Chains A and B, each alone.
Chain A
Amino acid sequence: MSGFVAEEPLLSLHFHPLLIDYIIIGLYFAFVLGIGFVLRKQMKTSEDFFLSGRSVASWITGLAFLSANLGALEMIGMAASGAKYGMLTSHFYWVGAVPAMVFVAIFMMPFYYGSKARSVPEYLRLRFDEKTRALNAMTFAVMTLLTSGMSMYAMALLFQSLLGWHFAVSVWISAGIVLAYTVTGGLTSSIYNEVLQFFLIVLGFVPLTFLGLKQVGGWAGLSARLATTHPGYLHMWKNMNHASANPMGVEWFGLVMGLGFVLSFGYWCTDFLVIQRAMAAKDMTGAQRTPLIAALPKMLFPFVVILPGILALALVPLTQWPAQNGTANFNQALPLMIAQYYPSGMLGLGLTALLASFMSGMAGNVTAFNSVFTYDIYQSYIRKSAPDKHYLAVGRWTTLAGIVLSVGTAYVVAQFDNLMDYMQLVFSFVNAPLFATFLLGMFWKRATGHGAFWGLLSGICAATGHYGLTTAEGKGGWIAVLHTYPSSMAQNFWGAIWAFSVSLLMTIILSLLTTPRPEAELVGLVRSMTPHASESHLAWYQRPVYLGMGVVAVLIGLNFWFR
């Protein structure tokens, strides 16, 4: 039986795949391993392994840039948020991602790519000094491994509840497959599989939107159904004037500055996981086009992942949803839709799409980790000059170590339930202040290494302090409670604003009090010292600036349409 009808709430959904579903999943595994195997011969130098030899076409790096960020947690989470908050969730993709992607493409990529840095921490060493690089490399390495482990854990848990697959089996099989294709094919393998993942997600989940809309009577039908129980669910800006007017508990300033500016720029402009994909491009304009090419599908993604969540809300009364602690478990939104609309066959496709997102998320984190470890930790502090072959070998062993550590993390997180929430929190503490460091580094030649290092550190402390002094939804405030936020999201956004501001201020003050490097050393690293490259040799649709303007125009249009 492949459909589901329920009169009573269930604890969780269960799927019953047939042979065809397993064949589809098996084919995916075979292709993924095959791609890694074929690419093995191309991995001759460490630059091939860690940076794809800087030779990848921009449509591939663009889709990989987008996909690297799309873990399955995001698929499940966005659908859940769609059910919980409605179209407001699109803010995470629109205001909360696209402006940052346009900014990094046009203004920051020239320095990332042009400096020939092999990683984001390496740019910090070139621009500032060793200790700033070390701080970034260590925090990034730890965070990226933890993310990989959490991804593995969430996937194993999901497949255990939906399909009855044993936790250990899911973890070890996925770890084994990811290990096989990243150790052989390096970054290229990871990137190629991320592009495959992109198409699987779109083609694997879009039918849910089509069928759901067909059942509910189109957009008008959806609107009518939600009008009484959840008015304003299809609007994005209408109820943003005050925190109490919308379910997210945020008002427009907190949203725009916290999410739209600090958190999103902090991630998209500095996180090596995505920047690494742009660094693999074959030339500068390719690298600049990468985030822009990613931004276009990004804007359409709400219709692939968020809308199914809203449809689930409209089509299945909350009392009939699988429940947790007496309330509807919103994380079941996507599984609910799959159960409603996918018979066996399509079920296999949907499960493969989920599997693909988890696995490519892990692969992305592991390839980012092995680059940062090999170049920024091993080569910088353990063995400075060895032939390139040595670092290639180190990269392969680090991949193995990274996977093993991720598996370890998955088991640790399985023991401590709340750990994941705290980890997510810590990540935001680090990213927000980091953006200030890069902003000043790339656009202010007076910024110094001492300023950057201590400014970053104080930003991280400010974020921690803010969390310790405020509460939201019962969390935080372990020092004292000076303020209570209406939602965790609001607390998160405002914490990010504080962290960024403190980092910015301290970096500026300390830079003015310390000696800067000679300006000649900053050519190629800072905007005012770098000649602006001309785009006139390119066709109009290849020029990053025009593409950027096009993306912004679509963004404004979408926000206006769904206001």
Chain B
Amino acid sequence: MDLRTPIGLLFSIFGVLLLGFGATHTGADFERVGVNVNLAWGGVLLGFGAFMLLLAALARRKAEPDHD
């Protein structure tokens, strides 16, 4: 099992959850220093998760060049 897959998956899910929560829970209670932290960081996590999944997919592609 390529470790990048579960890592990518977990952080992508976290990212989506935080993006969703951040988009639906706004206002002073959920902002810090003027930033909607859930929304902002949710995006970062999703980006990181997607990047890891991409690396895993590329590694898979490299290992089976005859399949397509």
Contact = CB atoms under 8 A, between A and B. Distances in A.
Given A203-B44, A207-B41, A211-B35, A345 B3 contact: no
A199 B1 CA distance: 18
A560 interface: no
Given A60-B3, A199-B7, A24 B38 contact: no
A238 to B, nearest CB: 30
B25 to A, nearest CB: 7
Contact of A345 (B13, B22, B35, B48): B22
Contacts, number: 80
B45 to A, nearest CB: 6
A203 B45 contact: yes
Given A35-B6, A340-B32, A203 B11 contact: yes
Interface residues of B, number: 27
Interface string B20-50: 0110010001111101011001101100100
B3 A2 contact: no
B10 interface: yes
Given A39-B1, A343-B29, A203 B48 contact: yes
B10 A215 contact: no
Given A31-B10, A34-B6, A203-B11, A345 B33 contact: no
A130 B45 CA distance: 50
Contacts of A196: 6-7, 10
Interface centre among B6, B9, B48 (most CB of A within 10 A): B6
A28 interface: yes
Contacts of B11: 199, 203
A373 B52 CA distance: 36
A1 B30 CA distance: 9
B13 A3 contact: no
A317 B34 CA distance: 22
Contact of A342 (B6, B9, B37): B37
Contacts of B1: 35, 38-39
A23 B17 contact: yes
Nearest to B36: A343
A563 interface: no
A210 B64 CA distance: 42
Contact of A2 (B7, B29, B44): B29
Contacts of A27: 10, 13-14
A294 interface: no
A237 interface: no
B53 to A, nearest CB: 13
Interface string A1-44: 11100000000000000001001100110010011001100000
Query: In this complex, which of B10, B31, B44 has the most chain A Cβ atoms within 10 angstroms of its Cβ?
Result: B10
A28 B33 contact: no
A3 B30 CA distance: 8
Given A24-B14, A203-B45, A211-B37, A1 B7 contact: no
A446 B31 CA distance: 66
14 contacts: A2-B29, A3-B32, A196-B6, A203-B45, A211-B32, A341-B37, A343-B25, A343-B31, A343-B32, A344-B30, A345-B37, A345-B38, A346-B37, A349-B18
Given A1-B29, A343-B25, 13 more contacts: A2-B29, A3-B29, A3-B32, A31-B6, A35-B6, A60-B3, A199-B48, A203-B44, A211-B35, A341-B33, A341-B37, A345-B38, A349-B45
Interface of B: 1, 3, 6-7, 9-11, 13-14, 17-18, 21-22, 25, 29-33, 35, 37-38, 41-42, 44-45, 48
